Amino acid sequence: SISLAFLGGIASAARQGIVVKGRNHLEDLAKADTFIFDKTGTLTEGVFRVKDVRAFHMTREELLGIAAHVESYSNHPIAQSLLLEYRRQVDKRRVCRMREMPGYGVTAIFDGERVFVGNKKLMDWQGILCTEVEQSGTVLYVAIGEHYAGYIVIEDSIKEDTKDTFGYLREKCNAVLVMLTGDTQSGSIPVARELEMDYAYVNLMPEDKLELVEDFLSIQDCSERLVCVGDGINDAPILARADVGIAMGAMGSEAAIEAADVILLEDDLRRIVDAIKIAKETLKVVE
């Protein structure tokens, strides 16, 4: 049976918008010392601004329009951001056979032509010739048919609450802080530097994320606990595998929320600090 102390802990977490799915998660949180974060939508806002657009055979607005249409069925933060920046209504009747390729991008038929929007890996995989764009930010390459049509450079910003949270985790949990991302070096290294991550791994496919989490788990002491924090479909496996998986609830995908042990109803990382404080206090009462 669950003790009153744990029920109290779970209840006070709930009052702060933190859903804890069981008492053992509070015990694990109190011992957490390794924190693995997804970048996009977790450490960063997940709201990308368009920094630069280059279109080769059309106007920039047209290229942005094609990309927005092709992305219109995706829930990815990149897709949501493009739709926001496009500002105009998309006509979904012009788009069909949309397919998402996690870690690569999306494809759909737009006005009868196959369009690809995604990273350089996607272009290479489709055999589309394009030169790598050297700019800070995340570069989305657009191809129509077999032809490279242009690129869109987008940039995300670090969440305000990230630094406060990291200060506490370093000081009070003596934490190792790790960033995992499917984004490229140019989109990720500036974020990792600014946050002074202990480790940062970029260009990861969902299965690579899981492998890295396994590596971190394998070097753990039995008194230590590993926490993973994420928001995307591609984070679900690591949230399930971690000692404690924490999902961003407000903007997070259903798969991440399902797989997690703890859900933050607001996407505010400081709630992690609150959850750990509650966990530590609860354990003090029990012991």
Instruction: Judge residue 211's burial from the number of C-beta atoms within 10 Å of its C-beta, 0-12 exposed, 13-18 middle, 19 or more buried.
Output: exposed
What is the per-residue binding string for ligand ADP in 85-124, x denoting contact by CB under 6 A? -----------------xxxxx----------xxx-----
Catalytically active residues, by annotation: 38
Position among 26, 53, 128, 140 found at the interface with ligand ADP (CB under 6 A): 140
Measured from each CB, the residue nearest to ligand ADP is: 182
* Gyration radius of the chain's alpha carbons: 20
Residue 38 interacts with ligand ADP (CB under 6 A): yes or no:
yes
d(CA 73, CA 94): 12
- Return the number of the residue (25 or 39) whose C-beta is nearest ligand ADP: 39
Question: Using CB under 6 A as the criterion, what x/- string covers residues 175-194 for binding ligand ADP?
Answer: ------xxx-----------
Q: With CB cut-offs between 5 and 8 Å by kind, which of ligand ADP, Mg ion, none does residue 105 bind?
A: ligand ADP
**Residue reference for tokens 């609150």:** 274
Q: Judged by CB under 6 A, does residue 39 bind ligand ADP?
A: yes
Q: Where are any strands of DSSP class E within the chain?
A: 18-20, 32-38, 49-55, 95-101, 105-110, 113-118, 138-144, 147-155, 176-180, 199-201, 225-230, 244-248, 262-264
For the beta sheet containing 147-155, the strands, ordered from the edge strand earlier in sequence to the opposite edge, are: 49-55, 147-155, 138-144, 113-118, 105-110, 95-101
Among 41, 150, 237, 252, indicate the residue that binds Mg ion (CB under 5 A): 41
Question: What residues from 211 to 240 belong to the interface with Mg ion (CB under 5 A)?
Answer: 231-232
- Binding partner selected for residue 138 from Mg ion, ligand ADP, none, CB under the kind-specific 5 to 8 Å limit: ligand ADP
Which residue in 61, 40, 69 sits closest to 187, CA to CA?
40
Q: Interface with ligand ADP by CB under 6 A: which residues?
A: 38-40, 71, 74, 76, 78-79, 102-106, 117-119, 138, 140, 181-183, 232, 234
